């Protein structure tokens, strides 16, 4: 029925206009209904709700008062945070965090040298963004930056000293040499063509090394820039050696995590391939390594690295105290990474393998060009989750005496300068916020990737 028919209808009791829509009754829509459906749908549910509300009401205001309202935000020493000195109830002592903030970041790293750490932090952040943000271009260059240039630069900058400078010099010479070779190789054919004429084109086709070399150009250029900048810095400001005993705080926490990921990922790929290999010995050794490491706690691996690694090498090569847990953590993470990657390899349909083989690709070409790119892409969430685990586990190096972030907090808790009843609660809260932000951020990222991948799968 149309409006026209209504208007023309002769019956007086028929409405001529549509009534405005009534809002639905309160019992099925609106906040009250929502509350009823979601909070008080039954006696058990109502009880649950009341218990939950009770928990929230009793804990949240106290927490807010302690950490925000009653908190002390500035002060020079513990007098600022002692209730009887300031004459009011005192909550968290944030002044203590502010006072020791530099120590939490850098540990005992010499103050005039801290710019070096900052550069490494910046490079680390750049590398992370490059690799993890999907809009960044030149992913392959990014991989090279993160897995090759960053570790080298971090070593050069953080440790410094004559050995590092010598190493930097060698690397620079090597890069220059590569650059020169590249220049020669890319100009010679052009010159040759100029002299010989178009007949040369055939010759060019048959010389794959240039083509291959062409792709390396960007990597060389990037290395040249990064190493050059470090060399200029080393020349102007100098890079005196800073012993690893002085490193501490977030520097060490990030270092352990970064070393863990940089070494465990390639190692994990190798182990995962080994475990799926048809060659029995390779498979056996991979399985033994993976299952062994996954069967023992990280602490025992760290103890082993700390006490047994020095025994396994000749006395004069005794590894650095910081290097030992790094080796332990990298091997430990590699075993877990291997299992994650193996999951990805297993998820690749058989047709991909067969397709690659029917193209005549050998094992390594097949893995490098067809399988691994797909497998790694689908396990990115798994890799990020393993990394979150690694980041949290990095706190365990505390137990073998390395000054990571958590340890620096512990160390300042017994400092009489800031000994107050609330210092401990403040220190732990600060550590919790730091770890939570890092881990939660990473897990959000992993979920986002998962959703993006799922969207791609849905088509």
Partner 1 sequence: MNTFLAAALAGAAMAVSVGGAQAQTGGLLATIKSKGVLTCGVGPGLAGFGIPDQAGNWTGLDVDLCRALSAAIFNDPTKIKFIPLSSKDRFTALQSGEVDLLSRTTTWTMSRDTSLGLNFAGVNYYDGQGFMVRKKLGVDSAIKLAGASICTEQGTTTELNVADYFRSNKLKYEVVAFASSVETIAAYESGRCDAYTTDSSGLYAQRLKLAVPADHIVLPDIISKEPLGPVVRHGDDNWFDVVKWTHNAMLNAEELGVTKANLDEMLKSENPEIKRLLGTEGKFGEAIGLTNDWAVRIIKHVGNYGESFERNVGMASQLKIARGLNALWTKGGLQYAAPIR
Partner 2 sequence: MTTIPTETRQPGKASLLYDPKIRGYAYQILLLAVVGFLVWSAASNAIENLRAQKIASGFGFWHNAAGFDVNQKLIPFSASGSTYGQAFYVGLLNTLLVASIGIVLSTFLGFFVGVARLSSNWVLAKLAMIYVEVIRNLPLLLQLFFWYNAVLKPLPDARNSIALPGSIFLNNRGLIMPNPQFGPAFQAVVVAFFLAAFAAIAFYIWSKRQQERTGKQYPNGLITLGLILGLPLIVYFLAGQPLSFDLPQQGRFNLTGGLQIYPEFVALLIGLTTYTAGFIAEVVRAGILAVSKGQTEAANALGLRAGPTLKLVVIPQAMRVIIPPLTSNYLNLTKNSSLAVAIGYPDLVQVFTGTVLNQTGQAVEVVAITMAVYLTISLVTSLFMNIYNKRMALVER
3-state helix, strand, coil in the chain (%, to 5): 80, 0, 20
* Position 68 contacts partner 2 (CB under 8 A): no
Closer of 44 and 111 to partner 1 (Cβ): 111
Question: How distant, in Å, are the alpha carbons of 39, 129, 251, 382 from that of 265?
Answer: 46, 17, 21, 12
Site for partner 1 in 311-370 (CB under 8 A): 311-323, 326-327
Task: Write the burial class of residue 391 (CB in 10 Å: 0-12 exposed, 13-18 middle, 19+ buried).
Answer: buried
Give the contact letters, 204-243, x = binds to partner 1 (CB under 8 A), - = no. Answer: ---------------------------------------x
User: Are the C-beta atoms of 389 and 339 separated by less than 8 Å?
Assistant: no
Distance of CA 283 to the CA centre of its chain: 29
Tell me which stretch binds partner 2 (CB under 8 A): 36-44, 121-129, 143-151, 213-221. Answer: 36-44
Site for partner 2 in 390-449 (CB under 8 A): 392-396, 398-399, 406, 410, 424, 428, 431-432, 435-436, 439-440, 443
Looking at 27, 38, 118, 186, which residue binds partner 2 (CB under 8 A)?
38
* Position 414 contacts partner 1 (CB under 8 A): yes
* Position 108 contacts partner 1 (CB under 8 A): yes
Residue 421 per-residue DSSP state: T
User: What's the rounded Cα separation, in Å, for the pair 79 and 140?
Assistant: 55
Q: Which of 300, 168, 295 is nearest to 235 (CA)?
A: 168
User: Are the C-beta atoms of 67 and 87 separated by less than 8 Å?
Assistant: no
Closer of 39 and 323 to partner 2 (Cβ): 39
Site for partner 1 in 31-90 (CB under 8 A): 78
Can you read off the two tokens belonging to residue 319?
């590894």
* Position 420 contacts partner 1 (CB under 8 A): yes
E strand or H helix at 81, and its extent?
Answer: none
Looking at 6, 33, 36, 39, which residue binds partner 2 (CB under 8 A)?
39
Closer of 59 and 318 to partner 1 (Cβ): 318
Q: Which residues bind partner 2 (CB under 8 A)?
A: 37-39, 41, 45, 48-49, 52-53, 55-56, 205, 208, 211, 278-282, 285, 292, 294-300, 303-304, 307-308, 310-315, 360-362, 365, 388, 392-396, 398-399, 406, 410, 424, 428, 431-432, 435-436, 439-440, 443
């Amino acid at each position: 029925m149309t409006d026209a028919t209504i208007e023309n209808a002769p019956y007086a009791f028929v409405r001529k206009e549509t009534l405005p829509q009534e809002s639905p009754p309160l019992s099925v829509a609106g906040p009250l209904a929502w509350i009823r459906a979601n909070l008080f749908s039954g006696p058990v549910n109502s009880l649950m709700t009341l218990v939950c509300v009770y928990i929230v009401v009793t804990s949240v205001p106290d927490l807010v008062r302690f950490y925000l309202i009653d908190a002390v935000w500035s002060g020079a020493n513990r007098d600022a945070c002692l209730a009887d000195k300031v004459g009011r109830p005192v909550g968290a002592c944030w002044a203590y965090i502010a006072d020791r903030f530099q120590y939490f970041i850098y540990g005992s790293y010499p103050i005039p040298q801290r710019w070096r750490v900052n550069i490494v932090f910046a490079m680390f952040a750049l590398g992370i963004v490059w690799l993890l943000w999907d809009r960044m271009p030149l992913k392959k260059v990014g991989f090279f930056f993160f897995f090759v240039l960053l570790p080298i630069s971090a070593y050069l900058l953080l440790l410094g000293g004559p050995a590092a400078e010598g190493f930097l010099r060698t690397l620079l010479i090597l890069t220059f040499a590569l650059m020169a070779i590249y220049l020669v190789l890319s100009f010679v054919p052009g010159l040759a063509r100029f002299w010989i004429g178009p007949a040369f084109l055939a010759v060019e086709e048959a010389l794959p090394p240039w083509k291959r070399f062409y792709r390396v150009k960007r990597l060389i250029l990037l290395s040249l820039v990064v190493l050059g900048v470090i060399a200029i810095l080393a020349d102007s400001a100098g890079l005196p050696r800073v012993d690893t005993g002085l490193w501490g705080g977030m520097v060490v926490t990030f270092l352990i995590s970064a070393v863990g990921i940089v070494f465990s990922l390639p190692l994990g790929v190798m182990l995962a391939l080994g475990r799926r290999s048809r060659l029995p010995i390779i498979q056996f050794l991979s399985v033994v390594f993976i299952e062994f490491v996954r069967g023992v706690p990280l602490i025992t691996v760290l103890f082993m690295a700390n006490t047994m690694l020095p025994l396994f090498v000749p006395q004069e090569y005794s590894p650095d105290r910081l290097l030992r847990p790094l080796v332990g953590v990298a091997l430990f993470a590699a075993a877990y990474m291997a299992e994650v990657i193996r999951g990805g390899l297993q998820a690749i349909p058989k047709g991909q393998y067969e397709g690659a083989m029917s193209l005549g690709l050998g094992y390594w070409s097949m893995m490098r060009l067809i399988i691994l790119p797909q497998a790694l892409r689908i396990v990115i969430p798994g890799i990020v989750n393993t990394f979150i685990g690694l980041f949290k586990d990095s706190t365990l190096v505390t137990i073998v005496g390395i000054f990571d972030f958590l340890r620096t907090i512990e160390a300042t808790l017994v400092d009489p300068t800031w000994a107050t009843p609330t210092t401990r609660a403040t220190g732990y809260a600060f550590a919790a916020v730091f770890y939570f932000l890092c881990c939660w951020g990473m897990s959000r990222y992993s979920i986002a990737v998962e959703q993006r991948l799922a969207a791609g799968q849905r088509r």
